[in-house]
């Protein structure tokens, strides 16, 4: 591999995230190239790097199931027969909350192409970002009061994060790059979220229509674990009500449930195309940037089936704006300054954060 930046990203994935070493075995699971979700060259790049490191690497193309109802026969056994499994497939995202994967511990890559892998998003030290995520989790869990606002008018408040089990993993897979903290349960939180542009799916299931376009910012009111109503342009309110009802009926669930929320922690994460050009791809990769915060709704489980997204959140934790209009201040986290000192590559992405997160021509999340 001639590109040193690309190799650095691949080694970050394989060695730091995967914990792989010479003589270990790796199974790479990819989608059919016709899906056009992952870049076709990404698999070749990762496999080439792994084999150059003398990691015994095999590749398998698996069918993409939009509803994620089951894994192909024999796949779990094949995953257990190797040291690590890497999903370059949305299937890995669909099983990220599946407790049955805990003893398999596969890796899901949110770097979708070679450019993302070679960027600061792919290269910034994975171990350091795990430490950063843990610092955020600790700060949220020990907080007395959390308030979230945004320029469009989002304003909701709640107590410290009531994570189900302190220290427990929030997902059953390893995510690469590490770009979000653990989902904060919605209980105890209430207020309004101003949704610009569109409603969109969560990557759990892929259905039609996956996105619901909005004319104007939509106010989504909620209390505890329930959405209590919508307000805004009458056509947007009608669209949201019908969309939630349809998705709820599609999957036989209570559509007005609010499960949890979290925000991005990785300023190296960039999405340069407008979100509306490909809602599926945007919702599966842009969320890691601190400019975005999202809720898991329409389902009493994470990630639910409809995602609500806030651009440029301010997250005040006990009165301190740790996120300030979409800018995460790692120096305000417990041990954050030490993490930046230990990992200059992480400090570099915070010093020059990516600004592109799928905005439309108006600089906001938009449907056109």
Mean pLDDT of 321-329: 98
Does residue 166 carry a pLDDT above 60? no
Q: How many Cβ atoms sit within 10 Å of the Cβ of residue 188?
A: 16
Closest by CA position to 313, among listed 303, 302, 328: 328
Worst-scoring range by mean pLDDT, 72-76, 135-139, 204-208, 310-314?
A: 72-76
Question: At residue 230, does pLDDT exceed 90?
Answer: yes
Among 95-99, 133-137, 262-266, the least confident range:
95-99
Question: pLDDT band at 325, cuts 50/70/90?
Answer: very high
Say yes or no to pLDDT of 161 above 70.
yes
Q: Give the rounded percent of residues in the chain with a pLDDT score beyond 90.
A: 88
Query: Token digits for 136?
Result: 């955020």
Contact 200, 306 (CB under 8 A): yes
Distance, CA of 193 to CA of 153 (rounded, Å): 7
In angstroms, the CA 44 to CA 51 distance is 11
With a cut of 70, say whether residue 169 has pLDDT above it: no
Q: Where are the domains of the chain?
A: 4-118, 126-351
Q: What is the mean pLDDT of residues 46-62?
A: 97
* Pairing label, strands 184-185, 190-195: unpaired
Say how far apart CA 152 and CA 133 lie, in whole Å: 27
Mean pLDDT of 23-37: 91
The pLDDT assigned to 272 comes to 96
Mean pLDDT of the 258-286 span: 96
Task: Using DSSP, state whether 7 is helix, strand or coil.
Answer: helix
Which CATH number applies to 4-118: 1.10.10, 1.20.272, 3.30.70, 3.40.50?
3.40.50
What is the DSSP-derived secondary structure letter of residue 149? Answer: E
Name which of 88, 128, 96 is nearest 266 in CA terms. Answer: 128
Position 33 confidence tier, pLDDT thresholds 50, 70, 90: confident
For the segment 280-301, the average pLDDT, to the nearest whole number, is: 96
> Is-above-0.75 flag for pTM?
yes
Q: Beta strand pairing status for 56-61 and 25-30?
A: parallel
- The mean per-residue pLDDT over the stretch 238-260 comes to 97
| The pLDDT of residue 167 is above 50 | no
**In the prediction, which pLDDT does 367 show?**
94
φ, ψ of residue 296 to 5 degrees: the values are -95, 115
Sign of torsion over alpha carbons 287, 288, 294, 300: positive
Residue 168's pLDDT is: 46
pLDDT (mean) for 273-302: 96
Residue 277 banded pLDDT, cuts 50, 70, 90: very high
Number of Cβ atoms within 10 Å of the Cβ of 340: 19
The C-alpha atoms of residue 22 and residue 340 are separated, in whole angstroms, by 30
Average pLDDT for the chain: 94
Helix (H, G, I), strand (E, B) or coil at 315: strand
Pairing type for strands 314-317 and 306-311 reads unpaired
Model confidence at 200, pLDDT cuts 50, 70, 90, reads very high
For residue 264, what is the DSSP state?
B
Are 12 and 50 within 8 A, CB to CB?
no
């Amino acid at each position: 591999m001639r590109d040193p930046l690309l190799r650095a990203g691949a080694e970050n994935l394989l060695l730091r995230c995967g914990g792989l070493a010479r003589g270990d075995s790796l199974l790479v699971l990819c989608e059919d190239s016709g899906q056009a979700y992952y870049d076709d060259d990404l698999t070749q790049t990762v496999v080439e790097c792994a084999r150059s490191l003398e990691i015994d690497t095999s590749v398998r193309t698996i069918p993409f199931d939009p509803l994620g109802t089951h894994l192909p026969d024999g796949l779990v056994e094949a995953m257990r027969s190797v040291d690590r499994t890497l999903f370059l497939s949305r299937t890995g995202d669909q099983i990220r909350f599946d407790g049955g994967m805990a003893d398999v511990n596969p890796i899901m890559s949110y770097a979708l192409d070679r450019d993302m892998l070679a960027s600061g998003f792919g290269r910034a030290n994975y171990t350091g970002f795990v430490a950063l995520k843990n610092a955020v989790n600790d700060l949220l869990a020990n907080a007395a009061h959390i308030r979230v606002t945004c320029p469009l008018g989002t304003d909701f408040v709640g107590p410290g994060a009531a994570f189900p089990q302190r220290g427990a993993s929030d997902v059953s897979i390893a995510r690469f790059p590490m770009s979000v903290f653990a989902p904060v349960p919605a209980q105890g939180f209430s207020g309004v979220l101003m949704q610009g542009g569109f409603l969109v799916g969560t990557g759990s299931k892929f259905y039609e229509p996956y996105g619901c376009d909005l004319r104007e910012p939509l106010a989504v009111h909620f209390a505890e674990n329930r959405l209590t109503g919508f307000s805004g342009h009458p056509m947007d309110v009608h669209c949201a009500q019908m969309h939630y009802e349809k998705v709820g009926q599609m999957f036989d669930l209570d559509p007005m449930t609010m499960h949890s929320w979290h925000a991005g922690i990785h300023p190296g994460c960039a999405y340069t195309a407008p979100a509306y050009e490909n809602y599926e791809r945007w919702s599966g990769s842009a969320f890691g940037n601190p400019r975005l915060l999202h809720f898991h709704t329409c389902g009493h489980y994470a990630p639910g089936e409809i995602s609500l997204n806030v651009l440029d959140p301010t997250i005040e934790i006990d009165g301190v704006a740790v996120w300030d209009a979409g800018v995460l201040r790692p120096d305000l986290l417990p041990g954050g300054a030490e993490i930046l000192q230990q990992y200059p590559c992480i400090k570099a992405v915070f010093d020059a954060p990516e600004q592109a997160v799928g905005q439309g021509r108006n600089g906001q999340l938009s449907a056109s």
